[in-house]
Amino acid sequence: MTSLTHRLYKALGYEFSNPQLLEAALTHRSLKGINNERLEFLGDSIINFLIAEELYQRCPDAHEGELSRLRSSLVKGDTLAEMAKEFDLGHYLRLGSGELKSGGFHRSSILADAMEAIIAAIYLDGGMDACRVCVLNWYQSRFGQSSQASTLKDPKTRLQEYLQSCHFDLPRYQVQSVSGEAHAQTFVVACIVDSLDKMAEGQGKSRRKAEQDAAEKLLQVLGVT
């Protein structure tokens, strides 16, 4: 085991029996050969399940809509990217030359995808129990933050309520671009408040998710927590 690998194992709190799984999880599709796309697909489902399971136990009085919003706030790309940065994951990513030159190891979407892939790799290497222990340890400090009442409302609702309370125009959402294959599209949407001359862009795997991401980013621009 290299010292670099040992540091990552220590940060994650997990040591792989099959290091090739971790290597695949850290390999972006820009590099030829095996990459982390399939692991990312699996990891997305696993983390959604594990966080949903934990919230179900932690929040016995929350209804389905509240639980869904709480889960979304915890598994969204920004949260996963923040976690990846805490693990210094960009330092370990295997990227093609184009992504290296463009600073792909700092890109939130790439970091978030790698986190999902690592979750799948741990599941395949050690099983669901080992994966659950890791994920819940990583999220321990975030569960308390997510229980705040404001988190129970989705970003679009929070933004609309804030603007209405200040007597500003309601936001409008404008699709900026749609890229990728039909089964794996990425939407970029702008959230615009004309009366404030403010806007923010968000992205997601559906128009709805991109709008929510854009609304969340505009709330941050406006300093609304």
Report the catalytic residues: 44, 116
CA 143, 8, 120, 82 torsion-angle sign: positive
Q: Are 12 and 21 in contact (CB under 8 A)?
A: no
For β-strands 198-204 and 172-179, DSSP reports them as unpaired
Is 75 strand, coil or helix? helix
Other CB atoms within 10 Å distance of the CB of residue 68: 15
Runs of H (alpha helix) within the chain: 3-12, 19-25, 37-58, 64-75, 77-86, 97-101, 108-126, 128-146, 155-165, 207-221
SS3 for 187?
strand
